[in-house]
Amino acid sequence: MFRVSSKNRLPESTAWLFPEYEFARMDAESYATVIIERILERGSWAELRWLFTRYGRQRVATWLRQHGFRRLSPCAFGYWRWVLGVKRYKAPPWATAAKSIFWEQPR
């Protein structure tokens, strides 16, 4: 499996996901949005199990609805929407407008 840091209770194996942060000072609640983002995008299966144990399926799905479109790659966003059964999500106005323009054009 993996070791959990005694200081911040995050998996030590995830430290590489947060190069711009001081990993030892991160805590799971204050940094929840960035932790969820990075582990959904790049985490191992063991780290994903930790994520869902720590935050729960509902909280991760809520994060995905609110932030997933902007903060995950299209591939990861589509995958996690499918896994978590997320049908509706928050998209920025420019994306909604671009989608409607594309689909309304005659062929």
Nearest 10 degrees: CA dihedral of 35, 57, 85, 92? -40
Range 73-98 average pLDDT = 86
- Which tens digit of pLDDT belongs to each residue from 3-51? 776 567 899 999 999 999 999 999 999 999 999 999 999 999 999 999 9
Q: How far apart are CA 104 and CA 21, in angstroms?
A: 44
Sequence-distant (6+) residues with CB within 8 A of 15 are 23
